[in-house]
């Protein structure tokens, strides 16, 4: 007998029919003699609807109330799946974050899980009851409902698998695994049988929303075996594994993109010590993350430099406000915001020992007439910022250039 956590995403529980389908997957595991705990997302579209209600109520809102509202979607799907399982003769019970409890920090809207008390769940599972746990939510020490950030039920599932010492955490979604790039954009994307934690972490943090970044971090830290697979088709999915379990390392194993990017250029900032600190300090103080940075000497203006950097798209207005309010202090000529950029990244652990990987990216983009605005690199990834209208062209061209296209 093995203990398994099954997580079903929004599309997988999007209708009552689909809830019946996923209940069949729960039953199949039980029939194999396994002990199962289930984690569910809200029905697809529901969390967006709740977020919108929240912002319509007031554009500036209390994050604690935001969490109360947006956590509601998972309550409904957990209850529905429990009812459907019961109708099939399976003992099942829904659990909200506070009932387990899943204890989190009180950073509302993006809380981290601190610990999960599994005692009651384990007792019930030993009595062959299936817990259906609402993902995405927890409870703070002040007894408030918290949520884990968008896509957070992946993290709920992996954390649950770690806490329950489960043999596997199966993430059921609307694609049948992790692909070399988003299969909804590149038709020739290829499914990966295995991917390393490290690569998956980069893919997720650089935009591949198939797994929430924190869920991969947590899986890596606790050695949870994660499998991504389809809730609609019976096919093997993708296993996320340690580097030692991969025999042949690809130079580039995947390409990710993120539209959640915006660029700000400060034109003609004095080229003096301390400028970067004066620009980035106030942004950090307001919780605005700066990602890519490039500084260029303004050729026609000695002693001045153009400073370009990126922030999350939803932070653009606030960042412009902050920098705008410091115009006199910073003494720049003008500021150019651009919300229509995308970050495209190629990722692969094999890159460490290969030359020419970046060059191939730059020349491929050049051949397609795509201008690179900012570049950043690490040991296992290269990211470039380009105009958003080239997203699909860039992804397809790079996918072909790195030999990732599926045959046939």
Which residue ranges make up the site for Mg ion (CB under 5 A)?
9, 151
Rounded Cα gap, residues 236 and 151, in angstroms: 23
Minimum separation from the CB atom of position 173 to Mg ion (A): 7
Among ligand ASP, Mg ion, ligand ADP, none, partner that 178 touches (CB below 5 to 8 angstroms by kind):
ligand ADP
> Rounded to the nearest 5 degrees, what angle is found at the Cα of 182, between the Cα atoms of 239 and 399?
100
Member of 5, 6, 10, 283 binding ligand ADP (CB under 6 A): 10
Output phi, psi for 37, to 5 deg.
-120, 135
187-226 mask for ligand ADP (x: CB under 6 A)? ----------------x----xxx----------------
Which one, 35 or 154, has the nearer CB to ligand ASP? 154
Which one, 98 or 136, has the nearer CB to Mg ion? 136
Q: Which residues bind ligand ASP (CB under 6 A)?
A: 9-10, 41-42, 47, 73, 135-136, 150-154
Strand partners, 377: 382
CB of 344 closer than 8 Å to CB of 358: no
Touching ligand ADP, residues 255-314 (CB under 6 A):
none
Within 10 angstroms of residue 357's Cβ, the number of other Cβ atoms is 18
DSSP result, 55-110: HHH-SS--HHHHHHHHTHHHHHHHHHHHHHHHHTT--EEEE-TTTTTEEE-S-TTS
Strand partners, 306: 296
CB of 386 closer than 8 Å to CB of 365: yes
Member of 5, 18, 41, 382 binding ligand ADP (CB under 6 A): 41
Which structure tokens are listed for 92? Answer: 């099942």
Which one, 108 or 214, has the nearer CB to Mg ion? 214
Which one, 97 or 151, has the nearer CB to ligand ADP? 151
Binding of ligand ADP at residue 179 (CB under 6 A)? yes
Residue closest to ligand ADP when measured from CB atoms:
9
Rounded Cα gap, residues 231 and 34, in angstroms: 18
Query: How many of the chain's residues bind ligand ADP (CB under 6 A)?
Result: 20
Among Mg ion, ligand ASP, ligand ADP, none, partner that 136 touches (CB below 5 to 8 angstroms by kind):
ligand ASP
């Amino acid at each position: 007998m093995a203990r398994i956590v099954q997580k079903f995403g929004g599309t997988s529980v999007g209708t009552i029919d689909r809830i019946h389908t996923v209940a069949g997957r729960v039953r199949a595991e039980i029939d194999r003699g396994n002990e199962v705990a289930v984690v569910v997302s809200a029905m697809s579209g529901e969390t967006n609807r709740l977020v919108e209600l929240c912002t319509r109520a007031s554009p500036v809102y209390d994050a604690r109330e935001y969490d109360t509202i947006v956590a509601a979607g998972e309550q409904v799907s957990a209850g529905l799946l429990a009812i459907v399982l019961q109708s099939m003769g399976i003992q099942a019970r829904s659990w909200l974050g506070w009932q387990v409890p899943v204890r989190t920090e009180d950073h509302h809207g993006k809380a981290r899980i601190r610990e999960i008390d599994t005692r009651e769940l384990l007792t019930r599972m030993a009595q062959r009851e299936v817990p259906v746990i609402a993902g995405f939510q927890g409870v703070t020490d002040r007894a408030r409902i918290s949520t884990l950030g968008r896509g957070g039920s992946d993290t709920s599932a992996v954390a649950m698998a770690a806490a329950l010492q489960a043999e596997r955490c199966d993430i059921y979604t609307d694609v049948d695994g992790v692909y070399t790039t988003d299969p909804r954009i590149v038709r020739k994307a290829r499914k990966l049988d295995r991917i390393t934690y490290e690569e998956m972490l980069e893919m997720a943090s650089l935009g591949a929303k198939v797994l929430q970044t924190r869920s991969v971090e947590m899986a890596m830290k606790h050695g949870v075996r994660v499998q991504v697979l389809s809730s609609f088709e019976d096919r093997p999915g993708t296993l996320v594994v340690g580097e030692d379990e991969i025999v042949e390392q690809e130079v580039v194993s995947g390409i990710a993109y993120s539209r959640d990017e915006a660029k700000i250029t400060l034109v003609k900032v004095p080229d003096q010590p301390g400028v970067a600190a004066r620009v980035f300090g106030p942004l950090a103080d307001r919780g605005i993350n700066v990602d890519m940075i490039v500084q260029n000497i303004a050729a026609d203006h000695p002693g001045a430099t153009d400073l370009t950097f990126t922030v999350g798209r939803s932070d653009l207005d606030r960042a412009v406000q902050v920098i705008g309010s410091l115009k006199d202090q910073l003494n720049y000529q003008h500021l150019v915001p651009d919300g229509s950029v995308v970050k495209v990244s190629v990722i692969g652990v094999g890159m460490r020992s290969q030359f020419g990987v970046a060059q191939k990216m730059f020349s491929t983009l050049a051949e397609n007439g795509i201008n690179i605005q900012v570049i950043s690199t690490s040991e296992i990834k290269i990211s470039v910022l380009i105009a958003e209208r080239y997203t699909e062209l860039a992804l397809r061209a790079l996918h072909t250039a790195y030999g990732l296209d599926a045959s046939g």
